[in-house]
Amino acid sequence: MARKVIWAYEATEDLDSIAEYIARDSSYYAAAFTHEILDVSRSLSEFSERGRMVPELGNSEIRELLTRDYRLIYSIEQPTIVILALVHGARDLKALWEKENRG
C-alpha cells in the first residue's frame, strides 16, 4: 500500500540550505541534488521499511536512507511518511537533534 510522503518544515529548510550552498558553485549540481533527494523521498511511499533505524535516536519508527554524503531521516507514521531532516553524514546528529529540539 502506497503511503503519503510529507516533508516537515525543518526538513524543507535543510534541503533549501544545502541546495543554496551547492548553488554557490553550481546551480546545475544544486538542482540535480535536489531532484535526487526528492526522488529518494518519493520512493518511500512504496518502500518505507527499507531504511535503517537511526542509531543515535534508538526509535524503530525513525529511519534513514543514505544518499551521497547525506542522511535523509524520516518517521513512519501510519499512513504517512514524514521527512524529518536532511543532515550531512559528518554532523553530530544527536547534538543537532537536541539543539534544534527536533525530537
- Read off the pLDDT of residues 58-78 as tens digits, 9 standing for 90 and up: 888 999 999 999 999 999 988
Question: Residue 70's CB: how many other CB atoms inside 10 A?
Answer: 23
Handedness of CA 5, 67, 21, 100 (dihedral sign): positive
pLDDT at 57 over 90: no
Determine the average pLDDT of the residues in 12-19: 96
Q: Are 84 and 77 in contact (CB under 8 A)?
A: no
CATH fold label, 4-99? YaeB-like fold (3.30.2310)
Which residues, in sequence order, are bridge partners of residue 85?
73
Instruction: Tell me the C-alpha distance between 76 and 80, whole Å.
Output: 6
- The values of phi and psi at residue 85, to 5°, are -165, 155
Residue 31's pLDDT band, with cuts at 50, 70 and 90, is: very high
